């Protein structure tokens, strides 16, 4: 069950990107340190110029990736890097966590829930965070990819236009690959994701989005207040 990104609205405004990045890192910091992690931010000295995009969705993309990295990394390092080529924003979120097996790469951005009760108890969450992150990236005219090996950590790569005024945005990517089920395993994908298709009645697209967004807001609020 894919989230149709084109059905979501976009509110374009001029944003202070360095401030946004620093605010998100400050909010995610308690989630990282609770698991014994160091959270590092690396920004360019020359800045980014004017940025016109959806503040709320960019913030959600960043927070989802950082909170996801914090969840699957213990006593390690999480690094947020941001740069610009004048037209596009390039963001990487790297962690030294448990990683993702090759067999599960294709299904990572599908709408899934936790693989089983044991992983639900261990990691928590709906498993829709990356689905929403991917949808928001497409909605804002960008993309998200990743590189990961089991036991070697994960790096997510996000590219977003710096200025979406006048752009035709919100088109879902019809050429994207559909995920295939991989074998059972102990990797990050299996821990976070298991098929919950709307056709099976487990998760509706609308209901799943609302649930996951509500959860993300609750997680961010707890992180900001220092709650565990």
- For residue 2, what are the CA distances in angstroms to 40, 56, 128? 32, 21, 10
For 117-130, how does the pLDDT look when each residue is reduced to its tens digit (9 = 90+)? 444 455 555 456 78
Q: Which of 69, 81, 61, 85 is nearest to 32 (CA)?
A: 69
Greatest alpha-carbon span in the chain? 50
Query: Which is more confidently placed, 56 or 116?
Result: 56
Which residues does residue 40 pair with via DSSP β-bridges, in sequence order?
Answer: 79
Q: Does the global pTM surpass 0.85?
A: no
Output the pLDDT for position 8.
66
Average pLDDT, the chain: 74
Output the pLDDT for position 33.
95
Domains annotated on the chain, with CATH: 13-170+188-225 (3.30.565.10)
Which residues does residue 19 pair with via DSSP β-bridges, in sequence order?
Answer: none
CB contact set of 168 (below 8 Å; sequence gap of 6+): none
For 18-32, how does the pLDDT look when each residue is reduced to its tens digit (9 = 90+)? 999 999 999 999 999
Taking a C-beta distance cutoff of 8 angstroms, is the pair 95, 78 a contact? Answer: yes
SS3 93: strand
CA 146 to chain CA mean position, Å: 11
For 136-171, how does the pLDDT look when each residue is reduced to its tens digit (9 = 90+)? 999 999 999 999 989 999 999 999 999 999 887 655
User: What is the share, in percent, of the chain residues with pLDDT greater than 90?
Assistant: 48
Helix locations, the chain, DSSP H: 17-34, 55-71, 117-123, 129-139, 188-192, 205-225
Number of H helices, E strands in the chain: 6, 7
For 171-206, how does the pLDDT look when each residue is reduced to its tens digit (9 = 90+)? 544 443 333 333 334 455 554 443 333 333 232 334
Query: Which is more confidently placed, 106 or 180?
Result: 106
Which residues does residue 53 pair with via DSSP β-bridges, in sequence order?
Answer: 13
State residue 90 phi and psi, 5-degree precision. -115, 120
SS3 88: strand
């Amino acid at each position: 069950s894919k989230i149709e990104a084109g059905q979501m609205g976009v509110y374009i405004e001029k944003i202070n990107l360095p401030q946004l990045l620093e605010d998100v890192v400050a909010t995610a910091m308690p989630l990282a340190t609770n698991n014994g992690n160091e959270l590092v931010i690396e920004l360019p000295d020359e800045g980014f110029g004017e940025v016109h995009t959806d503040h709320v969705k960019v913030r959600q993309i960043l927070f989802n990736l950082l909170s996801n990295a914090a969840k699957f990394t213990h006593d390690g390092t999480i690094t947020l890097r941001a740069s610009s080529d004048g037209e596009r924003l390039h963001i990487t979120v790297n962690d030294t966590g448990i990683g993702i097996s090759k067999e599960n790469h294709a299904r990572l951005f599908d709408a899934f829930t936790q693989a089983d009760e044991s992983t639900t108890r261990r990691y928590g969450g709906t498993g829709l965070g990356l689905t929403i992150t991917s949808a928001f990236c497409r909605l804002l005219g960008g993309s998200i990819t990743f590189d990961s090996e089991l036991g070697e950590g994960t790096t997510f790569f996000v590219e977003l236009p710096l200025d979406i005024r006048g752009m035709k945005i919100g088109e879902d990517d019809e050429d994207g690959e559909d995920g295939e089920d991989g074998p059972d395993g102990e990797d990050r994908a299996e821990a976070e994701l298991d098929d919950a298709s709307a056709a099976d009645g487990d998760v509706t697209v609308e209901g799943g989005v609302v649930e996951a967004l509500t959860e993300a807001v609750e997680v961010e609020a707890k992180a900001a207040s220092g709650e565990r």
